[in-house]
Structure formats: structure tokens, C-alpha cells
Amino acid sequence: MLQALGYGRYEFYLASRVDLIDKNVVAGLFAYQDDRKEIDIEFSRWGGLTTNSQYVVQPGPYTNQNLCRFNTQLHGNNSTHRFEWTRRSISFRSLQGHYAEPPSRDYIIAAWNYRGDHIPGPDRARLLVNLWLFHGVEPSDGREPELIIGQFRFTPEATPIP
């Protein structure tokens, strides 16, 4: 996306089995300003990890303060992944199916809140999506990688009334 959207809720409605992503493939949904100001939802095994998903707030070094790794295990093709970005926090959530709000707690795959010192400002970060090969290595399953985004929704942060 060419324009910066700024603070708000970024929701990605996926129609791909990101839980079955090949160990050599990385799929990213993120807001990017530069390599030190980035908010990521990523699906990958990074060449051999046992987890297949992560939320990250750049920059590194990566610790449990700015990186949350977890396993996504889908019950079908559809999942919803979002981050809600404010000046004080970034809240992440992943759900089974396509929902703005989960019908029950059983639909929540993962959730994590970041309140650290590296929350990017809203002015220049652009929304990006990528699908790439880790270290340029071909998929181990021999299949062409695919990421299907059925829908993207952005809801700007509500402006407080003075």
C-alpha cells in the first residue's frame, strides 16, 4: 500500500493453510517503515523451527519482549490475523475462521500484547505483504507456495474527544 494508514486495526482474512507452510517459505503481513520500525505477523518454520507462526516488533535482538512464537493449527483453510496499533501498545490476535470477534475462546489461536519502547510512529509505516524463500532455498515439498488473502480491513484508531 502506497499511503501510510497509521494507528488502527489491521485485519487479514486468509484463505490459505498457513499452518502447513513449507519450512523454507516465509509469509509476512506487516507495517514497515524501515528495518528498525516494523510490526510483523509471520508464518514460517525458518528452516527448521518447531513453531510455525510469530508476532514481532522490530528491531532485534529478539527476546520474549518483542517476539512471540506460537503454533498455528487450523481446522480449515480460513483464519483471521490482526494487530491493533496505538501509540502505547500493539495487540496481536489470530483466530480460526473469518471473524472480527471470535464466537468463543476456542476460536483464538494466539494473542499477545506488546508495550515496549519500539512502537513505531504512524506517519511513514506502509502496509506490506510478502511471500519469500528462506535463504533462497526451494520449498522442500516441491510445491509452489501460495498465500490467499480473501480480505483486508483497516479501521483507524478512534480519535478521543477532547
User: What CATH number should be reported for the domain holding residue 31?
Assistant: 2.60.120
0.75 exceeded by the pTM? yes
**Domain assignment of residue 127, yes or no:** yes
The verdict on residue 2 lying in a domain is no
Q: What is the pLDDT of residue 51?
A: 97
Higher local confidence (pLDDT), 153 or 158: 153
Q: Is residue 161 part of a domain?
A: no
At 160, the pLDDT band (50, 70, 90 cuts) reads low
Q: What is the mean pLDDT of residues 37-49?
A: 95
Backbone angles phi, psi at 45, to 5 degrees: -105, 5
| Cβ atoms within 10 Å of 123's Cβ, excluding its own | 8
Domain ranges, residue 17: 8-156
Q: Is residue 3 part of a domain?
A: no
Number of domain units in the chain: 1
